[in-house]
């Protein structure tokens, strides 16, 4: 298939391009220099000329705290940019896959969020991503919305890399223990997207690595596996803390866990556990460090 990937210089976009090319697809990966998603005419030109079968829309404004003051910037990219991609994809009859987020929910629920639960984003980032969902639903006749959470990968900055660094530098680390979610390895998400795009099973999907943890529990596992796989000299002593100890401009969901109902009911194999995803990441990370 011919696939165009937006946000191809981001951690999910880069891995998505790699996974698709490995599977023999013809891929055009576009970063912001090759495709300004806020420019409708450019979107129509680039997508029109390539004429993809599928557009995987990974490009997004993801600076959660900055979005609280840069409201126009967040909506320009996450809403207007998504509209532009939807319009251009629809013009060439391409399927559209929109990458969304756990932040579309209020995060106050006790149970994992189902795809049909009411959305109620609390941050500008969440609201702008929800706006993108609405526009995809309104303007695309063949679309998938894939909500994910706590994403990390080999490329770019992320929580796992930060903890690996701090764990070997700081004698003590405080990590939030009252926010729960599902870490997601970009390669695992990209593999799911590569399966999804081949189908006509249009829907909203909640796609993360399976099972859940707090940031503190995630860090514990990062350190344990880093010692075993990387031989890392972790010196940091971990201490759990609360969200209130780290006040940020944008509210964080206390519960980001999402139920994988659509994955199962549409006949897909569920994504492996977050622990196994982390093992795969650290193994790849070690190989990269040794090359």
Selected catalytic residue, list 61, 75, 103, 125 = 125
Task: Please indicate whether residue 125 is annotated as part of the active site.
Answer: yes
- 76 and 132 in contact (C-beta within 8 Å)? no
Compute CA distances 151 → 51, 62, 101, 155, 279, whole Å: 29, 11, 10, 11, 15
Please tell me the total number of residues recorded for the chain in this structure: 291
Residues 6+ apart with CB under 8 A from 99: 12, 56, 57, 58, 60, 146, 148
Distance between CA 98 and CA 140 in Å, rounded? 11
| Both tokens assigned to 47 | 């997508």
- 255 and 261 in contact (C-beta within 8 Å)? no
Active site residues: 125
């Amino acid at each position: 298939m011919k696939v165009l990937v937006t946000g191809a210089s981001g951690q999910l976009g880069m891995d998505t391009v790699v996974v698709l090319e490995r599977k023999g697809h013809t891929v055009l990966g576009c970063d912001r220099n090759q495709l300004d998603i806020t420019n409708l005419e450019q979107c129509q030109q680039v997508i029109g000329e390539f004429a993809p079968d599928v557009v995987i829309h990974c490009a997004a404004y993801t600076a959660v705290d900055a979005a609280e003051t840069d409201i126009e910037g967040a909506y320009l990219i996450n809403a207007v940019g998504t509209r532009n991609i939807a319009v251009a994809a629809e013009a060439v009859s391409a399927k559209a896959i929109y990458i969304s987020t756990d932040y579309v929910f209020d995060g106050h629920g006790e149970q994992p969020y189902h795809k049909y639960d009411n959305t109620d984003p609390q941050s500008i980032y969440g609201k702008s991503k929800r706006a993108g969902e609405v526009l995809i639903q309104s303007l695309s006749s063949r679309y998938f919305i894939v909500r994910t959470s706590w994403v990390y990968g080999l490329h770019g900055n992320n929580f796992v890399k930060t903890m690996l660094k701090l764990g070997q530098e700081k004698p003590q680390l405080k990590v939030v223990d009252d926010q729960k979610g599902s870490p997601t390895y970009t390669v695992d998400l990209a593999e799911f997207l590569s399966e999804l795009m081949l189908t006509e099973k249009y829907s909203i999907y909640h796609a993360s690595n399976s099972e859940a943890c707090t940031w503190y529990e995630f860090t514990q596992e990062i350190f344990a596996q880093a010692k075993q796989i990387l031989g890392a000299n972790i010196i940091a002593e971990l201490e759990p803390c609360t969200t209130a100890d780290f006040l940020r401009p944008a509210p964080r969901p206390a519960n980001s866990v999402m139920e994988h109902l659509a994955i199962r009911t549409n006949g897909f194999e569920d994504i492996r556990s977050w622990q196994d995803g982390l093992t795969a990441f650290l193994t790849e990370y070690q190989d990269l460090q040794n090359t």
